[in-house]
Amino acid sequence: MTKPYCFERYIKTETCIPKSIEKVSEPRIYITVNEAIEDFSAFKSIILYAYSGRQYWESPSLTFNDLFSSIDNKLHNMDSAKISISELSDWYHTCLKGMKIVDNHLTIYTLYNGIFRFGAEYAAYFTDVTVEKDFNSYRVIQSNDKQINVGSIIDVNKDNLFKTLSPSDKEYYLVGIRSWTPVETISVECNGKEIQLPLHKCRASANKFTGRRNHFIHSDVDGISVVTSNTFELNENYTFDMAKTLGKNLQSKKALIWNLSDNSGGSSDYADYFIRGLNGYSECNTNVAILHSNYTDASYNNTPYYKWDYIIDEGYDYSKSMYKGFLYVIMNSRTASSGETAIGYAKSVEKCLTCGENSYGCGVFGELKYYQLPYSKTTMAVPSKIFLGDFEEGKGYTPDYWVDSIDVLSEVLKWLKYK
């Protein structure tokens, strides 16, 4: 696969070490070079033997060992007898950046430099123009841009057309682009003239949810059943069986909307049980590779080993799908981790359609293990599994229908009413 440029997200915090890691009562500012060499040796071993993404990102032309060599050379040729922990932490970060990793779970927690992450988002940027396919042409049916009038024919690359909610006998498309970095304009041809149209990030994630989060809230809106799930955090007050019972109670509905917007995850069992109740069958269609080594199974065990276990998924079996209605799943770019896994489970329903925006893309690398380096006390959150399905890290799931609106639910309800 093509490795996109990875822009790091640097977050400065007062408390950088997770609660699960023992905090350092009196952190040192400097360590000796010999201590730094040992510290870096542990860092290398964690990446080589505990990180499930190592072989995913390496290539014949670039390996992690290639990147490690520069730090080894620096440490073994230092004039000073000591090095600041801050400088060493920056070296670790720069080293991993060199691989152009896109991993929304891999994290380095430092004592002095904040938190280093390696995530990226392949975001969608849209114009304020909507077109309808008219034989082999695309006719403008909505425009908030003075450069283009409704009824105009535009010439645009098919990669810049994103299917959106349409009447059953028509095909409507948003005009835009997906990119790893922000994009401000796009070039289209209208009536033989090239025009630069302004772009904005998809509005489906413009308004961040700030209210009370719930596992499953069921309501009826204009005769359509709507289930909203904006968290899957484990909660003894909401059990998996309660999710399954809700699903069973909705089996007779001809149409059901499941709103997963802003669901950042938790336990994917909630989604699994809900779909089992609704559909009698739940599958995520994800292949799993599980890394086992002396680092993942027992940190710093002296007996080295390195192996993989595999769980191969055979795909969805729609002959087992019992729900006969349509399931419409709403998602946005803050639907992440187990929230994204819920999308995979939802696709077990034969007539499932996704609407809104791409999901976050935080699920290829998972099952975190935490490690603390011996002298710098840098802590690393390192994925130990790989999950391969209908999504990519940073790209997420792609919706069947893109919706460029701050209120996707209202747009979907309106579409279902008139389509």
Query: Does 267 score more than 50 pLDDT?
Result: yes
Q: What pLDDT shows up at residue 297?
A: 79
pLDDT at 27: 75
Closest CA to 106 of 14, 182, 43: 43
Cα dihedral sign, 402-404-410-414: negative
- The share of the chain scoring above pLDDT 90, in percent, equals 77
Give the mean pLDDT of 316-331. 97
pLDDT digit string, tens, across residues 211-242: 889 999 999 998 899 999 999 999 999 999 99
pLDDT of residue 16: 39
Mean pLDDT, the chain, integer: 90
For the chain, the domains span 10-118, 123-202, 217-281+317-356+389-418
**Nearest one of 407, 396, 363 to 226, comparing CA atoms:** 407
Tens-place pLDDT, residues 104-134: 999 999 988 889 999 999 999 999 999 999 8
Structure tokens at 174: 């948003």
Q: Is residue 4 scored above 60 in pLDDT?
A: no
Q: When comparing pLDDT for 63 and 294, which is higher?
A: 63
CA gap 348, 362 in Å, rounded? 20
**Is 370 or 401 the better-scoring residue by pLDDT?**
401
User: Can you tell me the mean pLDDT for 292-317?
Assistant: 82
Paired strand residues for 11: 115
Asked if residue 310 has pLDDT above 80, the reply is yes
> What phi and psi, each to the nearest 5 degrees, are found at residue 54?
-55, -55
Q: What is the predicted pLDDT for the residue at 208?
A: 85
Q: pLDDT band at 28, cuts 50/70/90?
A: confident
- Which residue from 38, 30, 33, 138 is spatially nearest to 86, judged by alpha carbons? 30
CA 206, chain centre distance (Å): 17
Coil, strand or helix: which one is 188?
strand
Query: What's the average model confidence in pLDDT over 125-154?
Result: 93
Phi, psi at 190, each rounded to 5°: -130, 120
Look at residues 129, 155, 152 and name the one whose alpha carbon lies nearest to residue 142: 129
User: Quick check: 89 pLDDT over 90?
Assistant: yes
Asked which of 74-78, 302-306, 341-345, 390-394 is least confident by mean pLDDT, the reply is: 302-306
- Determine the pLDDT at residue 79: 84
Residue 136: per-residue pLDDT: 85
Residue 281: CB atoms within 10 Å: 19
What's the pLDDT band for 52 if we cut at 50, 70, 90? very high
Contacts of 56 (CB under 8 A, 6+ apart): 364, 365, 386
Q: Is 155 helix (H, G, I), strand (E, B) or coil?
A: strand
Report d(CA 389, CA 364) in Å as an integer: 8
pLDDT of residue 14: 33
Per-residue pLDDT reduced to its tens digit, 385-417: 999 988 899 999 999 999 999 999 999 999 998
The interaxial angle of helices 269-279 and 240-249, nearest 10 deg, is 30
Q: Answer whether residue 13 shows pLDDT above 80.
A: no
Q: Is the pLDDT of residue 178 over 60?
A: yes
Is the pLDDT at 138 greater than 50? The verdict is: yes
Phi-psi region of 394 (alpha: psi -120 to 50; beta: other; left: phi over 0): left
Contacts of 117 (CB under 8 A, 6+ apart): 8, 9, 10, 11, 104, 106, 107
Task: Give pLDDT, residue 15.
Answer: 36
What mean pLDDT comes out for the span 172-178?
98
CA dist 81 → 31, 33, 65, 92, 136 (Å):
9, 6, 25, 19, 71
pLDDT at 298: 63
Which fold, 217-281+317-356+389-418? Answer: 2-enoyl-CoA Hydratase; Chain A, domain 1 (3.90.226)
**How many angstroms separate the Cα of 14 from the Cα of each of 84, 111, 113, 377?**
19, 9, 10, 15
